[in-house]
Structure 1
């Protein structure tokens, strides 16, 4: 087995220094990026994720090795060109994992943790799930099946996670145009963390923004629509236990209480967040459509006033 380092553990001192630098820069820019309780909650979620990661990664390795040893279609060597290929297939896998995590409540129940902060800073990047690592790896199962060594896959997944740390900031406005066109950036990812209807479920990129542009989920950051961070309905707690599990509780409560058909109970697990069996719920597409209609109506009214 290739002996690759756990780069996330080695990066922890860098995370701390980067957050201190960001705090200094945003203070100079008069940006209130940090709130102490919120930041400590994010750090607590990150520490919990690292601790539980020892167990979840053991499970992932076990499953990956089982597929690799018994079912792989090819044997891809550990070489520079295979890492280049792995970079793209891993990022493609991440895009679909991330997108489905917004479109299916069963996956949203773990991913919502990362969106639960009403602030956007480098500590927000550390606000990671405690449960997702035990089942979201299914989006990567095709990689050991192709013949990528499990250790290579885990290393590339860590590289992707490490890349995404620096984009959680308001201290950087825009990167050069060529970079913005190809890669995920602070501007693109601010959109992803927005609760504004126009920004909901957009920019699911890991490293490359090209997937969002290819599959129709790209949304640029608008100058006249400041990003409002957090959830459509915020959880209003700094308690790490509640942050980690409150959506699981709400999902199971919706699915398994009250008078509902078996089909509706199942749909509460696989439909998007906001869906309700009685038709009273609104998913992100509904909220976006309402917002666009209101904007168009406002523009029409403004046009009439200007003509008069």
Structure 2
């Protein structure tokens, strides 16, 4: 058994007879050096490209990927060598044709990566492994190292055609060079290259488009962009349309810094769907469709079940394309459903700047909380990660790769290295669950060091000294963590004393309402001078960062916050609501200068009435549950079963001599997580309530049902006793005040 494990851990030596080129391993020092250079360059240019927490998250994902990749190396060598020995045309390359064969290997290898990349975006199986690479809201060189640990389980299949003419040495060389080249495309500091380079090569500009969730998620090339141009998956970066990165508008990926959940959350949902039996197995694994009973998408390149397809379609053909969502307006788009991580912290939405207000390559403004001061637990996490987890993991890989460790020590060291990486990054959550796992690791750390010293894996006398140092360090860390142990389920970094925070929020609310009032009503809810609104939007973003109710839709008791329920008045919209952007509404705004004309009031009510629960039950029984609702969550959705709230949106419209009318649009909120709700509108009513400025007795309402009702998604990003802030699918802001 140990012999077989040794062959598995050193497959190149076992089947080729010598160590194959390791281009990525040789390039690791260069990667870290360039990351440090980019940090300094961003600081000197006063651009916020890095945040410490997200950088730890990026590097922790890379560490887990490299560690698991060491154990999967045999999958990339044994099948290739077996196939090459049976069908290979060249056992070695003739010297006088070497350059031509290297060019052929580059082309075949890059074509293989292109199709591997498309597969990872087009299928749940592939996206489960690749999603972590796209989940960072930052885009910098550290993002290039944020790799999916599971990609190595299938990626080798796309490079087997190289076995026809490439010896193993050339195969390993070109696969490594292909990966190393892609590292340099993950930067915002390079604008656009010389046009011939942009025409042929994959550049930072092209790859920014690929990572941007407000583009069509295209440009799958590794080295040569010609593959995208050839197969119709190319999209150019546009000036005036800055890239917005990450899976969705959440401030924290999947609501947690736990790197294990980042790596596995989509795989969990996919396996749950595959095991449910509600859809064929091939559809669960080999598509990325979403809808009732399907896995909920986490980026804009997934396809609705009724329009099954694959990533890479032109934007005008994508059911979930960002261009289509933007054109349809904030109420028509969909925000991705977010799974609730075990022991994670639910955070609000990332404030997004309106597209078109920044120049090419500029980073949309980071959430204000990302620049907050580090709390003690986060300082601890940073020190542990950069001084222990990261260098310790690299040292382990060097020792394991040298063959000096026994297979048992290699397996135990790999498990502990991964455990260290997970717990130290997870501590950025500041939760009791994360601290509990770190305490368990600290208890195991000296025991592992003593075992390594006793079995001779560590040279003496350094082995005994290291074991004693591990005991002392673990004891000191345990004392520190016990002193800073957070309350169960609540982040330690929740902020200053609640009384002081509430006073600050109250003052900020008052300033915000004063600024909104200066716009006048109803002009404040209609599109207008964006420059005039920039200060209001910035004030709202600041307020969002200090929300006193982080999870307004899902409190510890299971239901929504009581503050959420009741009557609300819309007093401000950053780009206007969907209704107020219509031609009729614009005409009403222009006519508001005339007596008896215009929009008098826009209100929204939320409640948990029996009517709302009955409507939800009727919807579920009719089989028309919306994605993410209680009917669909059991079919593999990323989050827990949704709860329903009843909503009505009312507006009073003055039509001059034709009277004053009340329009009420009704629907249900399907709660997805602590702040996200999917809304389905089921119908609207019209009622004449006044004539010539005089109220009329209540007359009969005209009800108009909505077939296949329009859906929208909203994040409640701020909630207090008198104010509520919501965001639509495109980041549009809505400010409500509570009605008495």
Q: Structures share a fold, TM > 0.5?
A: yes
* Residues 103 and 178 of structure 1, relative CA distance in 2, 3 Å threshold: same
Deviates most, 115-124 or 246-255: 246-255
Out of 78, 93, 111, the residue aligned to residue 112 of structure 2 is 93
The answer to whether structure 1 residue 217 and structure 2 residue 230 are counterparts is: no
Q: Could you tell me how far apart the structure 2 residues matched to 1:248 and 1:286 are?
A: 23
Per the TM alignment, residue 286 of structure 1 is displaced from its structure 2 partner at its CA by 0.6
Q: Tell me what 2:255 maps to.
A: 236
8 A contact 1:87–1:156 mirrored in 2: yes
* Bigger shift: residues 127-136 or 47-56: 47-56
The one-character-per-residue Cα deviations of 1:219-262 (angstroms, maximum 9, x if unpaired) are 111112211101147523221111111111111122223x614x
**Which of 231, 251, 266 lines up with 2:270 in the alignment?**
251
Conserved 8 A contact 1:45-1:126 = yes
Q: Relative to structure 2, which stretch is displaced further, 7-16 or 157-166?
A: 7-16
**How far off is 1:51 after superposition?**
1.9
Show the counterpart of 2:505: none
Higher relative contact order (CA 8 A, sep 6+): 1
Is 1:200 the counterpart of 2:211? The answer is: no
Q: Residue 164 of structure 1: SS of its match in structure 2?
A: helix
The alignment partner of 1:230 has SS state of: coil
Query: Residue 112 of structure 1 aligns with which residue?
Result: 131
The answer on whether the counterparts of 2:49 and 2:139 sit within 8 Å (CA) in structure 1 is yes
Over the aligned positions, Cα root-mean-square deviation in angstroms equals 2.7
1:140 aligns with 2:159: yes
* Aligned position for 1:128: 147
- 1:184 equivalenced with 2:202 (yes/no): yes
After superposition, the Cα gap between the structure-2 partners of 1:111 and 1:276, relative to the gap in structure 1 and judged at 3 Å, is: farther
Of stretches 176-185 and 49-58 in structure 1, the one that deviates more from structure 2 is: 49-58
Q: 1 CA distance for matches of 2:210 and 2:292?
A: 24
Correspondence 1:68 to 2:102: no
Measured in 1, the distance between the counterparts of 2:219 and 2:282 equals: 28
Q: 1:62 to 1:279 in 2, by over 3 A?
A: closer
Distance 1:32 1:266, change over 3 A: same
Q: Deviations over 1:258-306 (max 9, x none)?
A: x614x2x4312111254655799762621226337538xx9997xx99x
The residue aligned with 2:103 is: 84
Q: Which deviates the most, 44-53 or 95-104?
A: 44-53
Tell me if structure 2 keeps the 8 A contact 1:102–1:273: no
**Residue 104 of structure 1: CA displacement?**
1.2
Task: Report the structure number with the largest CA radius of gyration.
Answer: 2
Q: Distance in 2 between matches of 1:153 and 1:275?
A: 41
Residue number in structure 2 paired with 1:15: 31
Equivalent residue for 1:287? 320
> 2:178 aligns to what SS in structure 1?
helix
Q: CA deviation at 1:7?
A: 1.8
Instruction: Find the aligned partners of 1:274 and 1:29 in 2 and give their Cα distance.
Output: 42
1:273/1:23 CA distance change after superposition, 3 Å? farther
DSSP-derived class of the 2:63 partner: helix
TM-score, structure 2 length as denominator?
0.38
State TM-score, norm by structure 1.
Answer: 0.87
Paired residue for 2:74? 58
TM-superposed CA distance for 1:29, in Å, is 2.5
User: Helix, strand or coil: the match of 2:189?
Assistant: coil
Q: 1:16 and 1:112 mapped to 2: Cα distance?
A: 23
Corresponding residue for residue 162 of structure 1: 180
The alpha carbon displacement at 1:140 in A equals: 1.1
Question: Are 1:103 and 1:271, in contact at CA under 8 Å, matched by a contact in 2?
Answer: yes
User: Is residue 255–residue 268 contact of structure 1 (8 Å, CA) maintained in 2?
Assistant: yes
Alpha-carbon contact 2:72-2:152 (below 8 Å) kept? yes
Distance 1:300 1:204, change over 3 A: farther
Query: Which has a greater percent of helix?
Result: 1
Structure 2 unaligned runs (5+)? Answer: 1-15, 304-310, 312-317, 330-577, 591-740
Partner secondary structure for residue 33 of structure 1: coil
Alignment of 1:264-279 (within 5 A): 265-272=281-288, 274=290
Using the alignment, how far apart are the partners of 2:327 and 2:274 within structure 1? Answer: 32
CA apart distance, 1:154: 1.9
Q: Is the 8 A contact 1:33 1:120 kept in 2?
A: yes
Aligned to 2:52: 36
